[in-house]
Amino acid sequence: MQRYAVEALARTMATLTSKMPSSGPSLLAVVNRLLKRPIQSLQEYSYLVGDTFVKVCSPPLYFRDILEQMDVIGVGSLPIILLTGFFIGGVMVQNTAAQFQRFGSASLTGEVVALALVRELGPVIASLLITGRNGSGIASELGSMVVTEQVDAMRALGTDPVRKLVVPRVLATVIVLPLLTGVADLVGLIGASIVSYFQLAIGPVEFWNESMQSLAVGDIVQGLVKPLVFAIIISTIGCFYGLRTRGGTQGVGRATTSAVVAGSISIIVADFFIGKLLLYYLVS
* Site of interaction with another protein (CB under 8 A): 148-150, 152-160
* Of residues 159 and 257, the one with the C-beta less far from another protein: 159
Query: CA–CA separation, 190 vs 89, rounded Å?
Result: 7
Q: How far is the CB of 157 from another protein (least distance, A)?
A: 5
Residue closer to another protein by CB (options 159, 214) is 159
Is there a contact between 211 and 119 (Cβ–Cβ < 8 Å)? no
Give the integer Cα–Cα distance in Å for 203 and 87.
Answer: 19
Helix crossing, 167-199 with 63-70: angle to 10°? 20
Q: How far is the CB of 257 from another protein (least distance, A)?
A: 22
Task: Determine phi and psi for 165, rounding to 5 degrees.
Answer: -110, -45
Give the residue with the Cβ less far from another protein, 148 or 209.
148
Closest to another protein by CB, 218 vs 251, is 251
From residue 34, how far is each of 16, 30, 120, 223 by CA, in Å? Answer: 15, 6, 35, 38
Q: Provide the minimum distance between the beta carbon of 152 and another protein in the complex, in angstroms, as a whole number.
A: 5
Query: Whole-number minimum distance, CB 248 to another protein, in Å?
Result: 12
DSSP H helices, the chain, are 2-18, 27-56, 63-70, 76-102, 109-116, 122-130, 136-147, 150-156, 161, 167-199, 204-214, 217-243, 248-283
Q: Between residues 71 and 152, which has the closer beta carbon with respect to another protein?
A: 152
The nearest distance, CB 241 to another protein, in angstroms, is 19
